[in-house]
Each structure stands twice: as C-alpha cells, then as structure tokens.
A = this chain, B = another copy of it.
C-alpha cells in the first residue's frame, strides 16, 4: 500500500441533488463533455400534432393546406387554438381544439409552428412543464428560431415523423417574484428576464445574489438574465456574447452599467440568481419576461431566477451548430462575405 496515492472520491452537487463518484487511480477527469447534440427517436409513429399559427388572416389558407395534409395524408389528429378552429370550420374543415392548455402536454406528440419566432415564445407559454418537440416554419420573413421553409412542408413533416432528427434543447428560466418572503408570481422565459428602472430617472441599485451569497450591487439602467437562446436578442444589444444553445449557462448582462469594470457574466446553469430591490432604493424597478407581463418590483421585493428543468426542444434542420450559424448569418450577416468587406 505504501507509495500508492490516497484514493479520492468526488461529491458532485448541481443544486438539485448530490452524487458520489469514486475516482479511478485518483485521476480526476471529466466524464466527457457536459454538452451534447441530442437526436430524437420515436418508438411509435406520432399521431397527435398541435398546429399553431401567427395571428394574421392572410395565413389561413396556409393553415388549411397544412391541416388538410396532416389529416388526410399523414392521418394525424390535428389540434389548433380555438379561434383557428372557428376559422377552419368557416372553411369547411373540422379540427380539434382545447379549452385549457393544462393537459396539452399529455396529448401532443409534437408542435408545428407556422409563423415566426414569436410563436415559439407562445409555445413556451402553453407548455409550462414538459414541452413536445417543435418544428418551426417561416412564412415570408426569416426568423431566428425558424429554420424551415413552408414550401418544403410535406417533405419536412415526413422526415419528422420518421424521427432521427436533431434537437436543440433550449433552456428556459423560471422567474419568481418574491414579496414578503414568498414567491407570488412565476413566469417562464425562453429569451430573457429584464429588471430595469422603467420611467424612473434614477438608476436602479440592485443587490444580486448567487446561490444565496451576495455577489454585487448593480448600478445600471438594468440587468438582463438571459438563456443562450436569448443571447442573440436583447443581451447582445447590451454587449453580451453570442452563446451557443447547447451551453448550459445563464447570462447576466448589465444595461449601461455605471462601473467600467462590470462586464457581462456567464453563470453556470446550476446558478440560482436573486435580485433584491433594497429597502432604501431610490425608486422602484420593473421586471419584464420575454418582453411581456411587465411587473413592478417595490422596495423589499425580489426576483428569483433559475433554470427550468423542462426545455423547449426545437427540431433542427441540420444540427444545433449548423442551424445556429445559419441564423446568425440571416440575422446579422455573420458570414465570410461580411468579414471580407474592407475597411478604408
């Protein structure tokens, strides 16, 4: 036994549970990359689809076309939102609908979006816990989360039904508003939650905590807590990095910080972040969730932000990296040609 190294055990805690791991030869190593490309396999053919469409009367003919195909050719059950059901009926087509979205996640095999990025946010709202895989078709303007062309609807749907398609598991954040020690409201965001000073002329003075420990006091116009999906939205306007959708991280990006040394921070997905409006703050603050549901945060209120364990699985056209760079190209001209544009 002499000359042998002391055996090592690691205890790994992710904030949800802890796990012991013996270390072979005391050689500490990663167990592989923490990030993955995920592929979807159906054990039996999917039969129920939720068909969502952007609110726009001009799109009704596309909806009818898509629904007929799914019903008649693919022999699926097609669920639509109530107002679409009514419009479809006016066109002589009977489709299923729902009263409450509560039980949808127990019925729907996958979701088809006809529209733009906004619809994916809507999916996230409909499914507060588990979300079925989502395939997203653009109708006209190209979106960031919308890699599929409606012209190719039939072949693309046929591929999805076969399975073997790649997914991006898009992290969501669960955001709870704390009042008098209790979480009063809860919101799920796919892009970001923002705390800002609203119309107040005074800048916010926000105490920030990570895993219960005080980190810093933000003096800025506001703070953005973003998912990787949201990294190319508001967070980027405020100077945050572009984060690949597979990186298990929460971005913490200050908006116009007073301190020159306060740079955007990338926290691990296990981080539990808390923002507090201190009792002696000069003004209230406001929180908004994916740009909506604006809530006032009064002195003493707090906001708790952590990863939601249920991601939004979006179906890739190629894979998570290929689709992402395609989106960057479309949205920002992020490509070799832009690169070569000469500066004087």
Contact among B14, B29, B220, B291 for A309, CB-based, below 8 A: B29
Kindly report which residue of chain B lies nearest to residue A206, judged by CB atoms.
B339
Q: Is the CB of B310 within 8 A of A27?
A: yes
Q: Is the CB of A29 within 8 A of B130?
A: yes
Stretch at the interface among A62-70, A78-86, A93-101, A252-260: A252-260
Asked if A6 meets B242 with Cβ closer than 8 Å, knowing A30-B169, A211-B321, A216-B336, the reply is: no
Q: Is the CB of A233 within 8 A of B343?
A: yes
A 213-256 to B, binary, CB cutoff 8 A, 1 in contact else 0? 10111111100000011111110111111111011110100011
Q: Is the CB of B322 within 8 A of A213?
A: yes
A183 within 8 A of B: no
Q: Is the CB of B242 within 8 A of A264?
A: yes
> Which chain B residues lie closer than 8 Å to A341 at the CB level?
258-259, 331
Q: Is the CB of A11 within 8 A of B38?
A: yes
For chain A, give the interface size range. 35 or more
Q: Is the CB of B30 within 8 A of A307?
A: yes
A 163-200 to B, binary, CB cutoff 8 A, 1 in contact else 0? 00001010100000000000000000001000000110
Shortest beta-carbon distance from A32 to chain B in Å: 5
Kindly report which residue of chain B lies nearest to residue A6, judged by CB atoms.
B46
A266 within 8 A of B: yes
> Which chain B residues lie closer than 8 Å to A220 at the CB level?
237
Kindly report which residue of chain B lies nearest to residue A343, judged by CB atoms.
B233
A 264-281 to B, binary, CB cutoff 8 A, 1 in contact else 0? 111111110000000000
A149 within 8 A of B: no
A3 within 8 A of B: yes
The A38-84 residues at the B interface (CB cut-off 8 A) are 38-48
Kindly report which residue of chain B lies nearest to residue A42, judged by CB atoms.
B6
A90 within 8 A of B: no
Stretch at the interface among A105-113, A150-158, A297-305: A105-113
Q: Is the CB of A343 within 8 A of B237?
A: yes
Kindly report which residue of chain B lies nearest to residue A312, judged by CB atoms.
B28
Asked if A247 meets B249 with Cβ closer than 8 Å, knowing A6-B45, A46-B6, A261-B334, the reply is: yes
A335 within 8 A of B: yes
**A–B complex contacts, Cβ < 8 Å, 11 sampled:** A6-B109, A28-B310, A29-B311, A33-B248, A33-B270, A35-B268, A216-B325, A228-B266, A233-B344, A236-B260, A260-B263
Given contacts A28-B313, A242-B266, 17 further A-B contacts (CB under 8 A): A5-B48, A5-B106, A9-B43, A10-B39, A20-B41, A25-B106, A28-B131, A28-B133, A30-B171, A34-B34, A199-B199, A201-B292, A217-B336, A219-B340, A228-B266, A241-B264, A247-B266
Residues of A within 8 A of B (CB): 3, 5-17, 20, 25-30, 32-48, 105-109, 117, 129-133, 143-145, 167, 169, 171, 191, 198-199, 201, 205, 210-211, 213, 215-221, 228-234, 236-244, 246-249, 251, 255-271, 286, 288, 291-292, 294, 307, 309-311, 313, 321-322, 325, 331-336, 338-344
